[in-house]
Amino acid sequence: MTRLHVVSGKGGTGKTTVAAALALALAAEGRRTLLIEVEGRQGIAQLFETEALPYEERKIAVAPGGSGEVYALAIDAERALLDYLQMFYKLGSAGRALKKLGAIDFATTIAPGLRDVLLTGKACEAVRRKGKDGRPAYDSVVMDAPPTGRITRFLNVNDEVAGLARIGPIHHQAQAVMRVLKSAETAVHLVTLLEEMPVQETTDGVAELRAAGLPVGGIFINMVRPMVLDEEAVRAAANGRRTAVAQALSQALSQAGLAGRRPAEKPRGTAAGQRRGKPAERFAQQLVDPLLDQAREHAERLRLEHAERAAIADLALPTYELEFLGDGADLSGVYRLAADLRKQGVAEEPS
């Protein structure tokens, strides 16, 4: 059963928005979901229109239907290291003294691998944590993870640490984290657009994850634009059959009352109207030409998207599509995307 959902994607594909929508979709039917941010950008707080996320877990949303809850946490590497020192070495006050001296910040800055160990470790701790009733504290944990280009190294860093530290608490902690990350409890999802570079990076990312033995989840195709022309019109536009498409557009414009007169034109019969008036067909053509250019661009985009869909299909992974939010990704848009994901069955697997 998948309980840790790691969401990655090339920069600009909207992975934070997808992670937020996924968390809401998974939180339905009374389930508790924890949404984790590890990059310090506070993107989740902006999406949910709330204050900057603290290191402590905080409820930020209620799932569609009102039964489930979404909590959020921004993992801070310095605080996580203090927790780590207290957990394994009982350095409570000493750890705080090190922080005042700047040693904690120094350690997490010069050793990016250590930082990744702390971030992944905190996420896996949330997955393993139990409540007083012995049940998991969270039914699902969603991590807004680093971009595709470094996701494999980010998740696999504990494997390297376990190999370097052969014994002791660091070794055991690293092994415990990798047991979660490489288990059936985890799924690494990749977000892409129907464009060449994001799809290529997604394909490469899947290959790297599989080679590292990390479990790949699904592909989330984000910002999918609607098909505004039917297939026949798309074929005509792609083949350069301007006459057929122009006739159809002119007829549609005429039926809509857009081809009779220009907006500032006076009624025919007046002297000014007769001087400035143009035949309806000529005015319709003035509107049709720009639309034909857009139709051709739309047809070309669909052709390219078809090729990218084929490349995604070759990955043989579950695929989900999310609509393009024309007004931008705000809270209402995230709820819409969550509803779309539930319709596509993303939350059907029991947590």
- Express each pLDDT in 19-52 by its tens digit: 999 999 999 888 999 999 998 889 999 999 999 9
Q: Are residues 107 and 178 in the same domain?
A: yes
Cα 187 from Cα 176, distance rounded (Å): 17
Asked if 127 and 138 touch (Cβ cutoff 8 Å), the reply is yes
Element containing residue 106 per DSSP (H, E) = helix 103-110
Q: What is the pTM of this model?
A: 0.79
Give the residue, 18 or 110, on which the prediction is more confident: 18
Q: Does 132 share its domain with 209?
A: yes
Within a domain: 53: yes
Please tell me whether residues 112 and 133 are part of one structural domain: yes
Are 335 and 325 within 8 A, CB to CB? no
pLDDT tier, 94 (very low <50, low <70, confident <90, very high otherwise):
very low
The dihedral of CA 130, 143, 42, 348: what is its sign?
Answer: negative
In a domain? residue 318: no
Whether residue 262 has pLDDT greater than 60: no
Q: How many structural domains is the chain composed of?
A: 2
What pLDDT does 350 receive? 47
Are residues 250 and 184 part of one domain? Answer: no
What is the pLDDT at residue 281? Answer: 58
Residue 351 placed within a domain: no
DSSP helix/strand/coil, 280:
helix
| Residue 88 and residue 136 in contact, taking contact as beta carbons nearer than 8 Å | no
Domain of 60: which CATH number?
A: 3.40.50.300
Statement to judge: residues 299 and 335 lie in one domain: no
Indicate if 168 and 274 belong to the same structural domain.
Answer: no
pLDDT of the residue at 166: 59
Which domain, by its residues, includes 38? 4-225+324-343
**Statement to judge: residues 44 and 132 lie in one domain:** yes
Higher pLDDT, 252 or 122: 122
E strand or H helix at 61, and its extent?
strand 58-62
Tokens 């012995």 identify what position?
Answer: 134
Q: What is the pLDDT of residue 29?
A: 80
- Residues near 153 by beta carbon (within 8 Å), at least 6 away in sequence: 116
> Is residue 95 assigned to a domain?
yes
Higher pLDDT, 101 or 122: 122
Q: Of the ranges 126-135, 222-231, 298-307, which is most confident?
A: 126-135
Residues 123 and 174 in one domain: yes
